Each structure stands twice: as C-alpha cells, then as structure tokens.
Amino acid sequence: MRPIREIDPPTCRALRGVVFDVDDTLTRDGRLEAEAYTALWNLRRAGLELIAVTGRPLGFAELIARQWPVDLAVGENGAGYVRVAGQGLQTGFFEDEAARRAEREVLEKVVAAVHEQAPWARLTDDSWARRCDVAFDIGERVRVSPQQIDKLLAIMQAQGARTVVSSVHAHAMLGGYDKALGVAHACRAALGADMDADREHWLFVGDSGNDAAAFAYFSVTAGVANVAAHLARLPVTPVYVSDADRGVGFAEIARTVLERR
C-alpha cells in the first residue's frame, strides 16, 4: 500500500465519483465523524458522485440516502439499494422476491444453529432493520476472540450461508452478491450506469474484510489507516492508504484527491 499523498493528479482528475464503506471508514465508535461528513459535502460540491455501500441494514441505507449527499446507498453488503430521486424513494434488491423468501428460511436455520452451538453469539442490535441477511456482533457492543469468530463463521457456513466479516459484524447471506456486484447492479438499475465499463473512474474507500470484493473490483482504491488490522481478510489490498484512521482518514483521502484535481 502506498501513502495516499502519492496518488497522481491525472488519476484524481479522471475520477467520476467515490464509492465508500461506512463503519470505521467514516465512523468512530459508531458515530459519523464531523470531518468525514464535511468531506462528503466537499466531494459533492466538486462535482463527484457518491455511493455509500455498507454492511448495515437496508433500513439504515434509507436514512443515508435521505440525509447524506449521496446518489445511492447500497446496504447489507450489496443485497439492495435505496435512492432518493425527483419522483421520490427508489428501492431495489439484487435477488428477486422468491429467492429472498427462500433465503430467509435458510437464514432462520443459521440463527437457530448459532444459538445452539455458540450461545455466546449475539445478533446485532440493528437486526430489526435488516431485509436480506443475518449479522452477529463481533466488535460493536461486545468483543469476541478471533477463535470465536472462526467458530461462528464455520457454523454459518455449515448451514449453507456465505459469510463476510467487517470490523464490527459477522454476516451470513445466501444471495450471489457482494459489495462490488451489489454496487454494479444498483448503478445499472437506479442510475442507468455501467459500472463494469467505468470502474477505473471511481475511487473505492474502505477498511475491513467485507470490503474485499470492492478492493479487488475497483482500479483506484484506498484504505483508511485502520485497514492494517484487517489485511489477513483482504486477498487484494488497497492501492493507497491514509495516515489517519477512520473518518479523519477518509477526510484526508478526500482532501488529497480534491487538491490533486
């Protein structure tokens, strides 16, 4: 990983927009940092498009779409999206309704298996707002060991679920999506844009294991400094990294990009 200050002006000038993770990329201890929110507005004022993609629930993605300066909010690691347009709220899912219904039955079995085999595991306290996945708390309200995380993942996988791990949650999901595929699908459906053909003109910023697909998909990528703690779960590391961590690091990345434009 190279320091973000090494990003070159032609790359920055060629950017159409920024795709970004939320937890521990814009937030610290669960709260959106002022520097990061200001950075979003600065990027918007500079004419860049903004897409949030998070492991947080789609119910939270709606709030982001309504109140943040973003063009699109993708939730639950790519499972669906929310957009506020002139005609009102626009929503969509990666999988169709029949598939989501079948997946929900499997996810109920995942929860039952976890409760039986790992009774210490707690569902996230944002589970009420989830539509397509199941998530367990591994670092937000509780702290669990790496060995416990591995056991939790094994239980979920044994029930047929795919798993990803963020800095705060371990997710079980059944659909064929991830953060990269989910963003590409949402862009086609909601914006009429072909992300596959345009990916070199987008900067992705993230911090942890559930960002792995996006770090691999986008050509221009950056991690906030705390990504260093999650490199073992990232087969492809970010190209650039900030000196500062979390939301302050995101602001550093945004400021550097804008200065070089």
| pLDDT tens-digit series, residues 48-60 | 999 999 999 999 9
**Six-digit token string for 233:** 């779960």
Q: Which of left, alpha, beta for 122 (phi over 0: left; psi -120 to 50: alpha)?
A: beta
Whole-angstrom Cα Rg for the chain: 18
> φ and ψ at 215, to 5 degrees?
-60, -35
Asked whether 241 and 25 are in contact (CB, 8 A), the reply is no
Q: What is the model's pLDDT at position 87? A: 84
For domain 2-94+177-260, give its CATH number from 3.40.50.10420, 3.40.50.300, 3.40.50.2300, 3.40.50.1000.
3.40.50.1000
User: pLDDT (tens digit, 9 = 90+) per residue, 141-192?
Assistant: 999 999 999 999 999 999 999 999 999 999 999 989 999 999 999 999 999 9
Q: What is the model's pLDDT at position 206? A: 98
Distance separating alpha carbons of residues 244 and 254, to the nearest angstrom: 12
| Interacting residues of 223 by C-beta distance below 8 A, sequence separation 6+ | 1, 205, 206, 207, 215, 237, 238, 240, 241, 242
Q: What is the model's pLDDT at position 247? A: 98
Which sequence spans correspond to the domains of the chain? 2-94+177-260, 97-173
> φ and ψ at 187, to 5 degrees?
-65, -40
**Same CATH fold assignment for domains 2-94+177-260 and 97-173:** no
CATH (residue range 97-173): 3.90.1070
What ranges in the chain are assigned the alpha helix state H?
9-13, 34-45, 58-67, 97-117, 146-158, 179-186, 195-198, 212-217, 246-260
Distance separating alpha carbons of residues 157 and 12, to the nearest angstrom: 40
Q: Which residues of the chain have pLDDT under 70?
A: none
Residue 80: strand pairing partners: 75, 93
Q: Which of left, alpha, beta for 32 (phi over 0: left; psi -120 to 50: alpha)?
A: beta
